[in-house]
Homo-oligomer: A and B are copies of this chain.
Amino acid sequence: MASSNLQIDSGRLWRDIHDTAKFGATPKGGVKRLTLSEEDKKVRDWFREACLAAGCEVHVDELGDMYALRPGRDNNRPPIGFGSHLDTQPTGGKYDGVLGTLAALEVIRTLNDAGIVTEAPLCIINWTNEEGSRFAPATMGSAAYVGEYTAENILGRRDVDGVSVAAALESIGYRGNEAMGARKLGGFVELHIEQGPILEAENKTIGVVEGGQGIVWYDGTITGFASHAGATPMALRHDALLALSELALAVEQAAITHKAVATIGEIKIENASRNVVPGDITFTIDARSLLTEALDKMDKAFKAAVAEIAARRGVGIELIPIWRKEPTIFNADYVEAVAQASSKLGYASRRITSGAIHDACNLSMAVPTAMIFVPCKDGISHNELEDAKETDCAAGANVLLHTVLKLAGVAGERKPG
């Protein structure tokens, strides 16, 4: 069958990626397209037109999630969903989210060109507010879709200017009439740039994503004693920064020991001055692992370090877990479908874990789900410097094509000409 070595149109996908990057283009070559902004409206309008032109019906749910439906032979089967998101970070790049959404569109165009009908319908989804930069939480649309939040709860969330999600949706005309979660899916596949350095470092084209790390977020405070940097002998100090320094190294050690990752990303010294011993510090910890057990062991290690450092240095340390998401394990059959598609196409691949949270991590709570990663330059993401190669993007889209064909099934195609 022609479908067995079908390839997407790499140039068309690349053009779409760069054409839509004008909606929110930044001088440094990135994209600033906050969810539900005027720029987001523009890319949504473009996406809707493109999907309609590709023969899809486009539906919108009450949180603005967009569903572009391509009928199958058996439309009683729930569609196989694929896609990602079109919103970006304030200093975002051209690939994060965009690649997965536009590659899904490219897959449908390729199927159209080849005259292929799938057994199950297909459904491209553009999830609202994956980034979480304007409204909390991140992965808002997909989290609500799987029932983590009610639509009502989400609609009332406000941005820093006090604008609610409901008002923002209405202002750009994307408050849809489909009830949240009403559009059932048979499964979901998301193509995404890795946002990490592993594939590039190992010269692999495809990451077969087995799951997503669980995450614990902590907020911390250290209460030492601010004092004169000249007049306070070292032995009489209660220096919050030195306590933080020891804790940061203990956090690193715990992550290494438990084959996980952990990061102190933010730290603020209150009333900092170059000639004052730091008194009060606030900080954050982000700890992730594919194993629940490792999250628990890191938590214990952090608490032990906190107790020891606080007692020895005579400071108070508070460490409060403010969010925990258990690890995601993707559906084994779906992961295998991705691996087989990659293998069939001859791409160098490896199994990999997602360090970031994606819409697919939410979806996997409701339906069989998998992800496909492609390399990005130097692992950089959430940055205007974010970059990816045309050949890698095309490879990812081809793996997406053949994964979806396998999951939805091929009902018929034009005879090869």
Contacts and interface: CB of A to CB of B under 8 A. Distances in A.
Given A275-B263, A286-B274, A356 B245 contact: no
Interface residues of A, number: 56
A387 interface: no
Interface string A267-284: 101001111111000001
Contacts of A284: 274
A164 interface: no
A92 B372 CA distance: 59
Contacts of A382: 228, 276
Interface in A236-263: 236, 239, 241-242, 244-246, 248-249, 252, 255-256, 261, 263
Nearest to A198: B233
Identical chains bound together, number: 2
Interface string A124-162: 000000000000000000000000000000000000000
Interface in A273-315: 273-278, 284, 286, 288
Nearest to A260: B234
Count chain B CB atoms within 10 A of each CB in A229, A355, A356 and give the residue with the most: A229
Contacts of A276: 263, 265, 382
Interface of A: 194-198, 201, 213, 215, 217, 226-234, 236, 239, 241-242, 244-246, 248-249, 252, 255-256, 261, 263-267, 269, 272-278, 284, 286, 288, 354-357, 379-383
| In the complex, the 8 A-B pairs of residues with the closest C-beta atoms, listed nearest first | A196-B231, A230-B355, A231-B355, A245-B245, A229-B263, A274-B284, A245-B248, A265-B274
